[in-house]
Each structure stands twice: as structure tokens, then as C-alpha cells.
Amino acid sequence: MIITLKNDSEEKQLKNLMDWINSLGLQTHLVKGENSTVLGLVGDTSRVDIGLLNSLDIVDTVTRIQEPYKNANRKLHPDDTIVDVSGHCFGGINFQLIAGPCSVESEEQVLTIARAVKKSGATLLRGGAFKPRTSPYAFQGLRDKGLEILLHAKKETGMPIVTEIMNINHLPLFEDVDVIQVGARNMQNFELLKELGKTRKPILLKRGLANTIEEWLMSAEYIMSEGNTQVILCERGIRTFEPYTRNTLDLSAIPILKEKTHLPVIVDPSHASGLARLVAPMSLAAVGAGADGLIIEVHNDPPHALCDGAQSLRPEQFDELVKRLDVMLSVVSKVREK
Ligand code: PEP
Ligand code: MN
């Protein structure tokens, strides 16, 4: 971290600032130039409050030269992290397809969709039992019963399951869940993240509706700082001024994340676009941009889905998409598990 000081700063103020920084366990290096005075901070600056520094009378600018996230930072961990979900690997050259309904509606619905998407090439099954809905009057999910149905589908198909947690008190119910999803609305539920960090379960961390990449990585850091390194990031679109799509898929987040972090990155084209007809082009684009996997909503009867029917593919559309994905995967030298 580099602090540029104002030209009129007094020696006493400077000494006070340096003493305070030293008291935080950091070293200071002072460089007095002809036109400006610069203070370099060496050590773990993640605990330094930039806002506070900026507010001091003698400070002109503060520049971070190291990101505030450590565990998630590629500089400190150059190799890709591989998250292994019962033998299905995310990261590196591996590519995984997660598919299933938005919400668990019935045993028959989940099993029908699970069997179909497995046949087409999906390796993990998604489905929400606890649903974060904007309206309290909308379908809230089958909750514990929904988890039971997912676990039954896991047993029947052998597919690991991915499902969202909204309340840390529900954690005991997630014991046999393979990947715990933290949805966009909970990306900054720090208490939830810390508790999930104490587990050793793979966590699918979705990007918040209006969060920067750095904020997202700081949320990953919350999980990792508690010891759980099994984090998969999921870009699911962000809020912009564009109303033609539900969200705007930020594809540039993928190559940026590949530079900044070693964690695997997957894309959710369903929530990103909100429209079934955009799911295939956005999936292909995500693969082209370097995604390590996709999570796609598939429903056997989209017009009657209890949640997100408009963005759900029919099983035959999903099947067609997987074939097209394989062409794109060969271009980027990724290997889809079959
Ligand atoms: C979901 O995956 O069903 C979901 C609610 O996603 P998001 O948190 O990205 O909106
Ligand atoms: Mn959904």
C-alpha cells in the first residue's frame, strides 16, 4: 500500500501517522521527493481501513498494490484449485455441467428431469428446496421435503446434488448435500459464509445482484479464511439498466477471475438472461470465455413450472445444447466429463 502525503504536511503529523501504522504491525518506508512525500506500507495490509487513511488531513491519495483477499488470490496460490465433488472435478482443464429444475416440485418431476439431463451429459443435479423469492406470497420451495426428494434422486441416479442454503440453522439438513449453494441474495451474508467456512463441503458461491468482482472474492475469502478452500464461483448476471434481459451476464468476469484467483468459475446463463432462448448462446459464449462449467435450469414442463419457467430449457433443448457445447469446448481445450 502506498500513501502519498500532502505537500504541507507537518513532521509531527507524519510521525503520528507512522507510529499508528507501526502499531498495526506494519513497516513504513518513507520516501521524500522534491515535490511529494510517499509512505510505503509493508506487511499484511488487509486490516488497514483505507477510508480512514483517506480521511486524514495529511493524506493525499492511498493506493493498494496488493488485493485485500489472500486465500483466494492467485498471486499466493498460482495453480488452479481443483474442487472435487465425489470424483467430479471443477477447475483446471475439467468442465462440468450442472442441470435440473429451479425448484424441487415433486419426486416425479425431479426424477424425470434428473434422468433426462444425466443422459444428455449433466454430471450434477441442481434443484432448490429453500427458495429465495422476492414475494413472500410466491412458492417458497418444499423445504425439508424438497431436500428429501433431492437425496432420493441422488440415490436413484448417482448424481451429486447442488442446492441452496438460506439459513445456517438448516445446516444439519444439508449433511448429505454434495455442493451447498450460496445464492446471489446471500453473497454478503457474512455470518452464513463464516459458518460454511467451518464445514468441509464444496460451496457454490454465486455473485451478488450488484456486487463487484472484488466484493465477490472477499466473500470467497470469508469462507476460505475459516479453513474451507472448496469454493466454486458462479457468475449469474448482474443488475444493469437493460430491461430486455433479467440480468446482464458479465462474461468479462471470467477472464478477470482467472487472473485474480485460482478458484474454479462457472456460469449460470439461466438466471443471467431470464429467457430460455438466450441460454444456448450465452452458454456457448461462457465456454468461449473460459468457464469451468455451467449450471442450467431444465424443466419437463416449463409453462407450468412453479418458479422460473421462462428461463428453463426443455430436456430436448438441453440435449441439443450439450452437443453444441462440445464443439466449443474443443476450441478452448477443456474436457467435459462424460
Ligand atoms: C437459483 O439458482 O435458483 C437462484 C435463486 O439463483 P440466484 O441466487 O443466482 O438468483
Ligand atoms: Mn431459478
pLDDT at residue 4 tops 90? yes
Q: Residue holding cell 416449463?
A: 302
Question: Mean pLDDT of all residues in the chain?
Answer: 96
Substitution site in 164, 238, 245 for ligand 1 pocket (most atoms within 8 Å of beta carbon): 164
Q: Whose CA is nearest to atom 3 of ligand 1?
A: 102
2-63, what's its fold? Answer: Alpha-Beta Plaits (3.30.70)
Domain at 83-336, CATH homologous superfamily:
Aldolase class I (3.20.20.70)
Question: Is the shortest distance between the CB of 132 and ligand 1 below 6 Å?
Answer: yes
C-alpha cell at 79: 495453480
Q: pLDDT digit string (tens) for 162-208?
A: 999 999 999 999 999 999 999 999 999 999 999 999 999 999 999 99
Alpha carbons 62 and 51: distance in angstroms, whole number: 9
Ligand 1 centroid, distance to 224 Cα (angstroms): 22
Of the pLDDT bands very low, low, confident and very high (cuts 50, 70, 90), residue 8 is: confident
Question: Is the shortest distance between the CB of 236 and ligand 1 below 6 Å?
Answer: yes
Alpha carbons 266 and 285: distance in angstroms, whole number: 12
Which residues are registered as beta bridge partners of 70?
A: none
Question: Is the shortest distance between the CB of 142 and ligand 1 below 6 Å?
Answer: no
Predicted local confidence at residue 45, as pLDDT:
86
* Phi/psi of residue 108, nearest 5 degrees: -65, -45
Strands (E), the chain: 2-5, 27-32, 37-42, 59-63, 83-85, 88-90, 94-100, 124-126, 161-164, 179-182, 203-206, 231-235, 265-267, 293-297, 335-336
Alpha carbons 8 and 36: distance in angstroms, whole number: 10
Predicted local confidence at residue 195, as pLDDT:
98
Question: Is the shortest distance between the CB of 127 and ligand 1 below 6 Å?
Answer: no
Q: pLDDT digit string (tens) for 252-268?
A: 999 999 999 999 999 99
Pairing of strands 88-90, 83-85: antiparallel
pLDDT at residue 300 tops 90? yes
CA 147 from chain centre, in angstroms, equals: 22
Coil, strand, or helix at residue 27? strand
Question: Is the shortest distance between the CB of 154 and ligand 1 below 6 Å?
Answer: no
Ligand 2 centroid, distance to 102 Cα (angstroms): 4
Q: Whose CA is nearest to atom 6 of ligand 1?
A: 183
C-alpha cell at 64: 493498494
Q: Which ligand is nearest to the CA of 272?
A: 1
Give the lowest-confidence range in 58-72, 86-100, 191-205.
58-72
Substitution site in 188, 271, 306, 312 for ligand 1 pocket (most atoms within 8 Å of beta carbon): 271
Alpha carbons 142 and 298: distance in angstroms, whole number: 18
Ligand 1 centroid, distance to 86 Cα (angstroms): 23
Q: Where are the domains of the chain?
A: 2-63, 83-336
Ligand 2 centroid, distance to 333 Cα (angstroms): 30
Q: How many helices (H) and strands (E) does the chain have?
A: 10, 15
Q: Which ligand is nearest to the CA of 207?
A: 1
On the 0-12 / 13-18 / 19+ scale of CB atoms within 10 A, 136 is exposed
- CA of 132, closest atom in ligand 1: 5
Give start and end residues of each alpha helix (H) in 88-234.
Answer: 107-120, 144-157, 190-197, 213-224
- CA of 103, closest atom in ligand 1: 3
Q: pLDDT digit string (tens) for 131-150?
A: 999 999 999 999 999 999 99
Instruction: Note whether 223 and 248 are within 8 A (CB).
Output: no
